[in-house]
Amino acid sequence: MYTLTLPHMDAPVSVFDLCQAHAQLESDFNVGGWLRERPSNQRRMMSTGSQLHRMKYRDSFRWVNVFSDRDEDGDSGDEDVKDVYFINVLKWGLPIDTEMRAFIGRRYTPEFLKTFPHWSQP
> pLDDT of 36-60, one tens digit each?
777 776 777 777 788 788 888 877 6
In a domain, residue 23? The reply is yes
> pLDDT of 22-38, one tens digit each?
999 988 998 887 777 77
Reduced to 3 states, what is the DSSP secondary structure of residue 119? coil
Reduced to 3 states, what is the DSSP secondary structure of residue 86? helix
Instruction: Please report the DSSP string for 98-109 in residue order.
Output: HHHHHHHHHHS-
Alpha carbon distance 63, 24 (integer Å)? 8
In a domain, residue 119? The reply is no
Name the more confident of 122 and 21.
21
In a domain, residue 52? The reply is yes
pTM: 0.85
Whole-number pLDDT of residue 100 = 94
Burial class (CB in 10 A: 0-12, 13-18, 19+), 92: middle
Alpha carbon distance 68, 1 (integer Å)? 26
Burial class (CB in 10 A: 0-12, 13-18, 19+), 112: middle
In a domain, residue 122? The reply is no
The range of the structural domain enclosing residue 41 comes to: 3-113
In a domain, residue 54? The reply is yes
Total domains in the fold of the chain: 1
Alpha carbon distance 61, 92 (integer Å)? 27
In a domain, residue 121? The reply is no
> pLDDT of 65-113, one tens digit each?
999 887 655 555 789 999 999 999 999 889 999 999 999 999 999 999 9
CB 12 within 8 A of CB 5: yes
In a domain, residue 17? The reply is yes
